[in-house]
Structure 1
């Protein structure tokens, strides 16, 4: 995927759901994976010409894995002229050694987001950008349906009452395969996820299930995503683009 397409789809999400206003200070969550690094590239480039002026802060939460090296990510941020902060934590120790969680993802995510949001607030950010993409949104819907018996997914824009931060998801129209292609073509310093349960989660199950459904019913992925964006799920009201086209 070329940079122009990345910026086009990112701007579409931002415009359609009014994600960025003039004067925003946005904390970008950097895990070291392909998604978050691609998001950083997209927002850094968009910042140069987007009509609403905004500032960026890149933040990584170090879960405490010894083999997790963010030095190359730091170099990328310096090259992009984006301030970069690493928050060191003992989350891995708490989840796996102290709590010995059988299903660690929920607690890990809660602690990680807590550390990230706290740092974002301390840096005077009013918004946080997560790198959830189109596949993530569909997988979350499937997980919610299968394991919780309800219909819900990530919202394009979410206000967090407890922190006063607004979460935005600018990569919502990008497919994972496009992001993977962009990261490879641009030699992004992607770090391998050190989590011992990576690839063995409910999300991985949902990912494979959607892949199988699409194989047996071509076009199923697009229909699932369309059902989400056109539904009355919380946070998924009509985008500005759709509202305007009806007038």
Structure 2
């Protein structure tokens, strides 16, 4: 996937779900993975021509695992002219050594988001951008159906009243396969997660299930995604389709 195509998908999401307003300051969560680095490129590129002026800040919450090298990401942010903030924490130690959590992902996500949101507020941001793509939207729906018994997925835009922050997901129309292609084409400096639970989660189960379903029934992922965005899900903002 070329940058122009990424920007087209991103603008579609931003326009259809009114994600960005004039004067917004948006914190981009950088985990070090391909998704968050692609999002950084997407918002940096969109910023150059989008009619509503906005600023971006890049933030990484460092969980404290040894061997997590962020130097290449810092160099990329310098190249793009984006301020980069690393929030050092001991979340990894708390979860895996102090508490020895048997299901660590939920607590880790909660603590990581808390640190990220706090840093965003301190940097003067009013919005935070997550790098969830189309596959994440569908996988979340599958997890909700299987484990919660409801048809649900995360919203493209969500207001967090306790933090006075708005969460946006500008890559929701981008396929994961295209993110992988973008990473390879632009040689993104991915920093591999040293988390011991990486790749052994319910999310990974849903990813493999979706891959199998789409292989056995070609196009079913796209049909599921269409069902989600046209399903009038609770908490989703009004969609304004076909805005260009």
Q: TM-score range by the shorter chain?
A: over 0.9
Counterpart contact for 2:66–2:194, Cα < 8 Å: no
* Structure 2 gap segments, 5+ residues each: none
Q: How does 1:14-163 map to 2 (within 5 A)?
A: 14-163=14-163
Match of 1:166 in 2: 166
* Structure 1 gap segments, 5+ residues each: none
Q: What is the Cα-based RMSD across aligned positions, in Å? A: 1.1
- 1:236 CA displacement: 3.1
Aligned residues: 243
User: Take 1:168 and 1:211, find their aligned partners in 2: how far apart are those partners?
Assistant: 26
Over residues 109-132 of structure 1, what are the superposed CA-to-partner deviations in whole Å (9 max), with x where a residue is unaligned? 000000000000001100000000
- 1:235 CA displacement: 3.1
Counterpart contact for 2:139–2:206, Cα < 8 Å: yes
Match of 2:176 in 1: 176
| Normalised TM-score (structure 1) | 0.96
User: Take 2:40 and 2:222, find their aligned partners in 1: how far apart are those partners?
Assistant: 26
Over residues 9-37 of structure 1, what are the superposed CA-to-partner deviations in whole Å (9 max), with x where a residue is unaligned? 00000000010000000000000100000
- 1:231 CA displacement: 0.4
Over residues 82-116 of structure 1, what are the superposed CA-to-partner deviations in whole Å (9 max), with x where a residue is unaligned? 01000000000011111111110000000000000
Match of 2:229 in 1: 229
SS at match of 1:180: helix
Higher relative contact order (CA 8 A, sep 6+): 2
SS at match of 1:86: strand
Counterpart contact for 2:155–2:237, Cα < 8 Å: no
User: Take 1:179 and 1:215, find their aligned partners in 2: how far apart are those partners?
Assistant: 19
SS at match of 2:241: helix
Matched, 1:218 2:222: no
| Normalised TM-score (structure 2) | 0.97
